[in-house]
Structure formats: C-alpha cells, structure tokens
Structure 1
Amino acid sequence: MLHLNRWAAAGLLACTLATAWAGNRPFPQHVTYTAGAIKPNHVTQASMDAAVSSQYAKWKTTYLRSDGGDGSWIKYDNTNSTVSEAHGYGMVLAAYMDDQAVFDEMLRYFRNHPTDQSPDLMAWKQTLQNGQMVDVEGVDSATDGDLDVAYSLLLAHVQWGSNGSHNYLAEAKKVMAAILQWDVNPKKHNLTVGSWVSGTDRKFTRPSDFMASHILAFARWDTANATAWNQVHASIVKAVNDQFTHGSEATGLVPDFMVFKNGVWVPTPGKFLETKHDGDYSYNACRTPWRLAMSWLVDGRTDLLAAQQKTASWIRAKTNGVPTNIDAGYIVLNGTNGQSFRSYDDLPFTAPMAVNAMTGGAATQTWLNSLWTSINGGDYGAVVDYYGDAIRMHVLLTVSGNWWTP
C-alpha cells in the first residue's frame, strides 16, 4: 500500500505540474462570436478541433526550423530563407495552440534580427548562409510581420502571463510603439508597407495589412496611444469603404496596394512594388476576406461588414458554390471589376473566403460548409506550400470557433 500511495502521489504531482504549465487559454477554446456569425454545421466541433490540431502538427513538422542557433524560424521557400511575415504567422499560431516552447524560441529569433530603424521591429528577410541566419535584401521591416508579432505578444501575455522568463506585455508595448513610429503615416494615420518608407511613399498602403481586429486590441492594451490606434483603424475603414463605393460596389474587393489621391483611397496604377497587378486582387489582397471579417466576427464592429457581406454573396455566385472555382486573382482596377485574370485556384485564395462566408448568415451556410471541406483535405492536401498552409491554419482556427481575443 505504501508503494501504491507513493505512485498515486507522484501521479497527482505530475497532473498538478501539467496543469500549472498549461496556458490560461489552452486549445481548444470554443468562443462565441458576434451574433449572426455562422460556423460549419455539417461536421462536429470535435472533428473541427481535431483538424486544427492535426494541421498544426503537420505545419510545425514541415516549416519550423532552428538552424543557425539564434532561435526558431519558419522556412518559407526552398532557399532556406524566412521572412518576418512568416515569423508573425508562426508566433500567433504558437500562442493560440499554447505552444510556449516554440513561441519563446521564435521570440528569441525575433530579438536577434532587428531592423536598422528600431530594435523592436524585425528585419524582413534572412537566409541560412554558412550555418547562420543572415539578414538579406535590406535590414528593414514589413508591416504585416510587425503587426502579427505585436499581436502574438498580447496573446502570450494572456496565455502565459508576464511574470515568468519573459514580460510579454512589456515586449508587446515596445513593438506597438515602434509600429506607430515607423509603420504609420503621421499625417493620414494609414499603415505604410514597412519601416523603410518615407516621403511621398507614405501615401501608399497595403490592404492585406488591414488587421482591423489587431488594431482594436492594440487600442485596448496600449491605452496611452489609444487615440492613435483608433485613427489607424479609421484609416482602414475609409480605405476599404472608399473602394467599396468607388468601383467595387458589386464585389467588395480591395486591391493589393492603394494610394491616397484627391481625398480618396484608390488602387495603385501600374506596378507600385511587385507586379502590374498591384492595383488588382492578387497574392497580397487574397488575405483580406479573412483579415477584414475579423473585426466583426470577434469585436462586433460593423464598419467593414457591408463590403465583406458583398464579397461573400458575389464569390458564391461567381463560383456556383464550388470552392475550386475561386480563381487566383481578380481585377479591381485594370479592367472589369471582378473578372478573373488567372484560370487556376490556389489555397491562399480559397481559404480566406471561409472566414468571409461566416458573415453571410443562412445564405452562405452551404457555401461555408463546402469551403471547410475543401480546405480541410477535400481539395488541398495537408501540405501545399508555406503561404497557403500558414493562411489555412489561421482560417481553420477561426472557422472552428477557436479565435479568442486578448
């Protein structure tokens, strides 16, 4: 009996330690979204949770690396490189999945690769060279990575607290301050595309950076700068609705890049930063049906809802309700708005439409069900590529009802 009691006590201690080590909001968290939001109703909650867990395990195995010795990073292409966008995605996912060991190693990597402008922003690209991760192509930041890193640190504070080896909240506030200083146009309060931007280039913005729900969280936690964050949010609302009422009335689509001209945000003409389709809905803007829907889903804000509901009804009709009929690019500026300019589908375009469909109510229920099945093995395998798989992980977390806010 003595030995049995010792083993029982040891088991109880192990359980107690496991509980102590678990986060405050371990996966799964079944969040109640804004009234009117829908979730897939053709599968069980347990099966959706299992899909998220399975996909996260595969995502880590496929993309998480620690070569170079200065922390963990996400392999985003076949050249042993990473970018801050990928890093931000990874830190957000680790926080939601209560994966503190991974998160802390990614935080260490973030701190080991600062920009020239600020120690609290991450240089946008590194490549493995001679066993070390080396900054390449400019030691400055990209705004999307900066925003996700700051948001992930708020998640970490709620998940694990800030009294341990890291003061996550203090770290978050430092990154938020740097974003306001380096990634925001002080005159128009719009997000610029990165810390390198100056002069007239500050009039340009990238709608895929319009993480409206992140911005609202920053305003809650960074109370000293709440006015500034609310001004950033207002600029996002204006840009989306300027386009919705000046060209995208039938689609709700926004382009990859926009510029402020004559008091209105408009698509950029020609090539601004990447391709001739910078003024159209392409590989940046494909994320917006997910990003722009979030402030309504989790925060109850209706500022962007009309445009998102229009996109939900338009894309469902455009594709006849078949997810793989979503093409990998649609015209916003350079032709007929809503006309496709590529004749193939791609996961980064398909997956975000599932979050968008959550805004449509009963009219988009079957469409949402089809999208869930499509991105969860129906049409796309467990591994596609870094970009599609990272976006899919965020979408699955959201659509399954597990996206809580800090």
Structure 2
Amino acid sequence: MLNLTRFAAAGLLACTLATAWAGNRPFPQHVTYTAGVIKPSHVSQSSMDSAVSSHYASWKNAYLRSDGGDGNWIKYDNTNSTVSEAHGYGMVLAAYMDDKAVFDEMLRYFRNHPTDQTPDLMAWKQTLQNGQMVDVEGTDSATDGDLDIAYSLLLAHVQWGSNGSHDYLAEARKVMAAILQYDVNPRKNNLTVGSWVSGTDRKYTRPSDFMASHILAFARWDTANTARWNAVHKTIIKAVNQQFNNGSQATGLVPDFMVAKDGLWQPVPGKWLETQHDGDYSYNACRTPWRLAMSYIVDGHTGLLASQQKTASWIRAKTNGVPTNIDAGYYVLNGPNGDSFRTYDDLPFTAPMAVNAMLGGAAAQTWLNSLWTSINGGDYGAVSGYYGDAIRLQVMLTVSGNWWRP
C-alpha cells in the first residue's frame, strides 16, 4: 500500500529544495544578441524553449550517471567511461538549465579526480571498475574540459551566488589560474592541448579549444590575469585569421590541430596526435563553427567574424541548403581545401553550422531554419550518441537565444 503521507512529505521537500535553489537566471533566458545575429524564424520562442528542455531531459536520461559514489559523471562510450570534455559539457549545461543538484554533484566528481600536476584541473579519463570510477590512461588534463569547467563555475556564480555551500567564484578562479599555468604556452600565449604538454609540443594548438567567448569571460572575472587572457584571445584571432588568409580564403575552415611554423600558425602535416586528418577539418574542428562564432554573437567582438561569415556562406552553397549534405570531414591541408573526404553526415558536424548560420544575415535565414528543424528531430533522433547530443544541446541553447554571458 502506498504511504501517502511519506509521498507527500517527499514532494514537499523536493518543492522546498527547488525553491531554495532557484537560480538568478533560470531557463529560459531570452538574450538579446549582437545586432545582426539571426534566430530561427519559422518556429515560436516557446517552441524552441520546449525543444531545449526536451533534449536536456533526454540527454540526462541517456548519459548522466552516479555509479562509483564520487558524484555525477557523463557516460561517453559503451565502456562505462567518462572524459573531462564530457564533464565540462555537463557542468555548462546544468548551469544554464538551473540544475543545481546535478551541477554540485558534477563539481564533487571533478574535485575527486584531479590531475597529478594540480588539484584544480581534472584528470582526463575515468572508467568504472569494480564499482569505482578509476583514472585511466594517465592523470593529465585536456584543455577543452578545463576551459568548460572554469566557464561553468562562472555561470554557477552568476546563477546561484557564491555565499552558499560552494564559493563558485573562488573555485572558478583556481581553475583559471591552473589553466594559465598548465594549458597555456607562456612564450606564444597559445592554448596547448593539455597539462601533459611540454617542450616543443607547446607550439601545437587545437582550434576546437578556441572558445573565444570563454576567454573573454575569463579576462573579465580573473582580473589579476586580464592581460594574459587578452593575450590568449589575441593569439586565437591570429591563428584563425592566418589560416583564413593562407589556404582557407574560400571556406574559413580551420583544422583539428595547428602548429607555429615559419612565423605562421599552420595545419599540422600528417598525424601529430590522433589521425592522418589532424591537419583537416575533422572530429575536433567540427565544433569550431560554433565555438568561433560565439565571441561575436554574445560579446560583439569582430576579430573572428569575417572567417565565420565565410564559412556560413560557403557551407550553405556547398550543400545546396540541405543540412544532411554537410559531410563529416573536409580537407584543409591534405587535399583541395573544402573538398570532403567522407561522404556521410553526422550530428557533430551538422549542429555547429546552425550557430555559424546565425552570422549569415537575411540570406541565411532559410538555411538556419532548415538546420534547426534538422537537428531538432527532422534528421537526428533525440539520442544519437554522446558527442553529437552534447554539442547539439549547447547549439540549441545558443540558437534559441538562451546562451547568456556570465
């Protein structure tokens, strides 16, 4: 027999906690972006908000785990593993969706899996073994996870304040300081790929880590290091525009990895870290039409605008305005720039182009509308894989006008 008194008490407690944890910026937040940035015109705002909420629920159900007792983590493959990249995505999403309970458990997990170098960065990979999440394949960090975790803590400070059980701002500043110490080349001010990098490997960088709007936020909040963050931002602009002016004039594309050589930032030749396509637009760089567009969309910074507007016009023409004609890989260095080297579509490549399309003006309106429909169930299901789903949800937050600036 159902204990109605106990059930009612549990419901009252949940309601009380929800009220206590109500954020300063609860979802949805309808942000006014930089002038000229477009949003989908074929669906209502409430419809877009509902779609984001639905995809967030699907994402949590599919990927959020608590096995191991260390806190919440994000299942990223079929081996019951997680990576810091996934963790950063999850913390950012929980902060934007005003999901404090999930966020705080993810913060606990982050603190339970530090790198060897510093407690303020996260070891890049863990796997569930004998009921515990165990660090595997080294205990170094990956820069993309580090950047998103720091950014999420700034979001948390704005969302819930830092006078409660967690001083989110203090936590953010510790992570930002560690990024500057371990993930930034002090000679060239470029982002390296992780805390493990040393020596000549410091001259390599990964454009998918060029979270330009994050860097601008760090410059605002980490006032003791504003000059250094601005130098990192300047290097990002330099690297992207050197590629734009020296090989990607017709596409704006950047590769998975770049290296400083002969006074220029260039695509890496051959395999440096992952595949033979390290110098092409592949499964890392597919995020750049989203990441690079953000500093104009939310900050009004024009340093990367020209290259991203070029990508917006190029991909629209390349695909004849059909989202599933976006192929899962294009040459930057190893073949004719802009020619595809794969002949299938994939959500991690399709979704970021929707953020990029927001820079395309009236000419891109139909294209943006088609991309929204495509990623919101028209061509891809609610659960299609960890990587694509995490990217899609952040893209939909942005495209729907809900990506506010901390």
State the Cα deviation string for residues 281-303 of structure 1 (Å, max 9, x = none). 00000000000000000000000
Instruction: For 1:77-226, list aligned pairs within 5 A.
Output: 77-226=77-226
Q: State the SS of the aligned residue for 2:134.
A: strand
* Counterpart residue identity of residue 210, structure 2: F
Query: Hey, what does 1:276 align to over in structure 2?
Result: 276
State the 1:389 CA deviation: 0.1
Give yes or no for the alignment of 1:49 onto 2:46. Answer: no
State the 1:101 CA deviation: 0.2
State the Cα deviation string for residues 227-282 of structure 1 (Å, max 9, x = none). 00000000000000000000000000000000001111000000000000000000
State the 1:17 CA deviation: 7.3
Instruction: Quote the Cα distance in structure 2 between the aligned partners of 1:17 and 1:266.
Output: 51
Gap change, CA 1:111 and 1:17, over 3 Å in 2: closer
Query: Hey, what does 2:386 align to over in structure 1?
Result: 386
Q: Is the 8 A contact 2:95 2:103 kept in 1?
A: yes
Query: Hey, what does 1:8 align to over in structure 2?
Result: none
* Counterpart residue identity of residue 122, structure 2: M
Query: Hey, what does 1:31 align to over in structure 2?
Result: 31
Give yes or no for the alignment of 1:357 onto 2:360. Answer: no
State the 1:21 CA deviation: 2.7
> What CA RMSD, in Å, does the superposition of the two structures yield over aligned residues?
1.4
Instruction: Quote the Cα distance in structure 2 between the aligned partners of 1:198 and 1:301.
Output: 31
State the 1:208 CA deviation: 0.2
Query: Hey, what does 1:5 align to over in structure 2?
Result: none
Query: Hey, what does 2:5 align to over in structure 1?
Result: none
Give aligned pairs, total.
Answer: 396
Query: Hey, what does 2:8 align to over in structure 1?
Result: none
Instruction: Quote the Cα distance in structure 2 between the aligned partners of 1:262 and 1:385.
Output: 40
State the 1:50 CA deviation: 0.0
Q: What 5-or-longer segments of structure 2 have no aligned partner? A: 1-11
Query: Hey, what does 1:22 align to over in structure 2?
Result: 22
Gap change, CA 1:347 and 1:112, over 3 Å in 2: same
Instruction: Quote the Cα distance in structure 2 between the aligned partners of 1:286 and 1:21.
Output: 35
State the 1:341 CA deviation: 0.1
Query: Hey, what does 2:306 align to over in structure 1?
Result: 306
State the 1:19 CA deviation: 4.5
Q: State the SS of the aligned residue for 2:133.
A: strand
Instruction: Quote the Cα distance in structure 1 between the aligned partners of 2:277 and 2:215.
Output: 27
Instruction: Quote the Cα distance in structure 1 between the aligned partners of 2:325 and 2:73.
Output: 34
Give the TM-score normalised by structure 2: 0.96
State the 1:15 CA deviation: 8.3
* Counterpart residue identity of residue 361, structure 1: G
Q: Is the 8 A contact 2:21 2:100 kept in 1?
A: no
Q: Is the 8 A contact 2:85 2:142 kept in 1?
A: yes
Query: Hey, what does 1:332 align to over in structure 2?
Result: 332
* Counterpart residue identity of residue 338, structure 2: G
Instruction: Quote the Cα distance in structure 2 between the aligned partners of 1:70 and 1:19.
Output: 26
Gap change, CA 1:16 and 1:67, over 3 Å in 2: closer
State the Cα deviation string for residues 189-233 of structure 1 (Å, max 9, x = none). 000000000000000000000000000000000000000000000
Instruction: For 1:222-237, list aligned pairs within 5 A.
Output: 222-237=222-237
Instruction: Quote the Cα distance in structure 1 between the aligned partners of 2:318 and 2:234.
Output: 30
State the 1:18 CA deviation: 5.1
* Counterpart residue identity of residue 331, structure 1: Y
Q: State the SS of the aligned residue for 1:150.
A: helix
Q: State the SS of the aligned residue for 2:392.
A: helix
Instruction: Quote the Cα distance in structure 2 between the aligned partners of 1:14 and 1:143.
Output: 36
* Counterpart residue identity of residue 58, structure 1: S
* Counterpart residue identity of residue 317, structure 2: A
Instruction: Quote the Cα distance in structure 2 between the aligned partners of 1:118 and 1:315.
Output: 42
* Counterpart residue identity of residue 45, structure 1: Q
Gap change, CA 1:311 and 1:131, over 3 Å in 2: same
Instruction: Quote the Cα distance in structure 1 between the aligned partners of 2:323 and 2:15.
Output: 44
Instruction: Quote the Cα distance in structure 2 between the aligned partners of 1:332 and 1:13.
Output: 55
Q: Is the 8 A contact 2:358 2:368 kept in 1?
A: yes
Give the TM-score normalised by structure 1: 0.96
Query: Hey, what does 1:64 align to over in structure 2?
Result: 64
Q: State the SS of the aligned residue for 1:77.
A: coil
Instruction: Quote the Cα distance in structure 1 between the aligned partners of 2:328 and 2:41.
Output: 27
**Structure 1: which 4+ aligned runs deviate by more than 6 Å?**
12-17
Gap change, CA 1:14 and 1:282, over 3 Å in 2: closer
Q: State the SS of the aligned residue for 1:34.
A: coil
